[in-house]
Amino acid sequence: MRNMFSLSGKTILVTGSCGLVGKEICKALPEFGANVIATDVDDAKGKELEETVKGVRYSHLDITAPEQVKSAMSSMDQIDGVVNTAYPRNKNYGNNFEQVAYKDWVENVTMHLGGYYLVCREAILNMLDANTIGSVVNFGSIYGIQAPDFRVYEGLDMTSPIEYSAIKAGVINFTRYIASYFGGDGIRANVISPGGIYNGQPSSFVEEYESRVPLDRMAETEDIIGTVVYLLSEASSYVTGENIVVDGGWTIK
């Protein structure tokens, strides 16, 4: 039986490739045969990724800049898959609800959700021009399908911003729209919605969070890789418009 999870010969574009999740995706995909175009705005980290991981080529890309996105996508001969992990936000992002100014709300939603739209639009146009049977993978969140449990943030100088929930809910239904609209062209689109990923958070937060997870732990970046490979490969050839939750069971309670 052929390896249904092989990405051999496929070119996969990853946004946010210098971030926590994006970096690990870029490191993992070449192991399955993919050629990876890693994109970000942090050129120093991007070049380091290119130099240390075989099969990865770095390209500067600000997903919030329409002309830059259009130029980047139109210059690529082949795009078989897109993985959107980028997390653009302004300097005021992360405030409590009462402190979120309307201007910041609009800017952050436009940057993040709008950026995903720009990348998907131009990448799909590339796929259509090349008659490519492509796959789009957008990153959502458990907070795109349910409200945060704010008890895990009590006593801490951190929260889950209102913009984040709106953005990730938008990503999920926006992706379903793409899946329906371009299904006849053979282009699939799906969402991965992770639960909390460990990234050095305060121990009190980790303890509170893990106490609500049936698997008793936060996610590690490695926990997400298998789902990404699945959605980019032939193994998921009849899967589109889905929101796959990878959360250790958080949302079943």
Per-residue pLDDT tens for 127-161? 999 999 999 999 999 999 999 999 999 999 999 99
Name the residue with higher pLDDT: 24 or 253. Answer: 24
pLDDT at 96: 94
Active site residues: 164
Mapping DSSP to helix (H, G, I), strand (E, B) and coil, where does residue 187 land?
coil
Q: Which two tokens stand for residue 245?
A: 């939750």
pLDDT at 131: 96
Mapping DSSP to helix (H, G, I), strand (E, B) and coil, where does residue 59 land?
strand
Per-residue pLDDT tens for 89-98? 999 999 999 9
**Residues 6 or more apart whose Cβ sits within 8 Å of residue 78:** 11, 130, 132
Q: Band of the pLDDT at 2, cuts 50, 70, 90?
A: low
Per-residue pLDDT tens for 36-45? 999 999 999 9
Gap between the Cα atoms of 147 and 165, Å rounded: 8
So where are the chain's domains? 11-252
pLDDT at 10: 98
What is the average pLDDT across 76-80? 95
Q: What is the phi/psi pair of residue 139, to 5°?
A: -95, 120
Per-residue pLDDT tens for 96-127? 999 999 999 999 999 999 999 999 999 999 99
pLDDT at 142: 98
- What architecture is the 11-252 domain classified under in CATH? 3-Layer(aba) Sandwich (3.40)
Given a cut of 80, is residue 60 above it in pLDDT? yes
Per-residue pLDDT tens for 172-203? 999 999 999 999 999 999 999 999 999 999 99
Q: What is the phi/psi pair of residue 133, to 5°?
A: -85, 90
Q: What are the Cα distances from residue 72, in Å, to 15, 63, 139?
A: 12, 10, 21
Gap between the Cα atoms of 112 and 166, Å rounded: 10
Per-residue pLDDT tens for 4-56? 999 999 999 999 999 999 999 999 999 999 999 999 999 999 999 999 999 99
pLDDT at 253: 82
